[in-house]
Amino acid sequence: MTDRYAVFGNPLSHTKSPFIHGAFARQFGDDLIYETIEAPVDGFAAAVRAFVDAGGKGFNVTVPFKVEAADLADEAHEAVVLCGASNCVKVEDGRLIAENFDGVGLVRDIVSNIGVEIKGRRVLFAGAGGATRGALVPFLEAGAGEIVIANRTVSKAEEICELLGPRGSIRACGYDAINGGFDIVFNSTSASLTGAGLPIPPVAFQGALLAYDLAYGKGKTPFLTLAEQSGAARLADGVGMLVEQAAEAFAWWRGRRPNTAPIIKAMTIPLK
């Protein structure tokens, strides 16, 4: 019997998840289908229940349903509890078990694919939304020396620091208080999705080993352009993170981790 998986979101016209999971399944010869379910904004829970009742075994979640997926779950793993959002759900005996693999996927892309170590590094995250929340625990566990969260509303970044402060060195600031000396600089805001710039001073990139935009498929965004002009040694977008978090989901569902390298290569848009 064909196993059924899906991604829930709205809109889903540009999702790459069916391509990625289809490629993973072909690596193992697995009999599965992976579909897109564009649920109504006010109908996510009903759409999930219909999927589960029809035999669905697991699903990914993207905007705007990640928070609702966490709330809907019968069981939530630590990453979901900490960031308040889920991007992956497993169905077991009709129960929904929620995970969030965004941070794990990001760390794996940086360390294993790009070849930049996180241990001891000074890291800047621009933005204090769900993407940053989801990434922080894996970064702290990977041994980041210091993490700075910059946000227009500093209190929002401070809330995250208060929550995660016992786990490592983490602090908040406004964009106007950013200084230099960062090894890795992330854009985890939605600015690149709209083509907007960010008020990050050029000094943030001077001497940086890596500037990483969590958005993908946008080419050289204003963030990456500024990073290149300001001295960052290497640029990356979020395609590797996308594929790696998908591989974590596939392994959680299926018990085998696929080879991500050919999929990342096929989806990568050159940045230089």
- Tens-digit pLDDT profile for residues 169-196: 999 999 999 998 999 999 998 767 666 6
| Over residues 190-208, mean pLDDT | 83
The CATH code belonging to domain 3-100 is: 3.40.50.10860
CATH T-level topology, domain 103-238? Rossmann fold (3.40.50)
| Catalytic center residues | 66
Range from 125-134, 186-195, 209-218 carrying the lowest mean pLDDT: 186-195
Same fold, 3-100 and 103-238: yes
∠ CA 58-76-124, nearest 5°, is 100
Alpha carbon distance 243, 240 (integer Å) = 5
Q: Where are the domains of the chain?
A: 3-100, 103-238
| Over residues 101-106, mean pLDDT | 94
For residues 15 and 7, the answer to whether their CB atoms sit within 8 Å is yes
- Tens-digit pLDDT profile for residues 51-101: 999 999 999 999 889 989 999 999 999 889 888 889 999 999 999 999 999
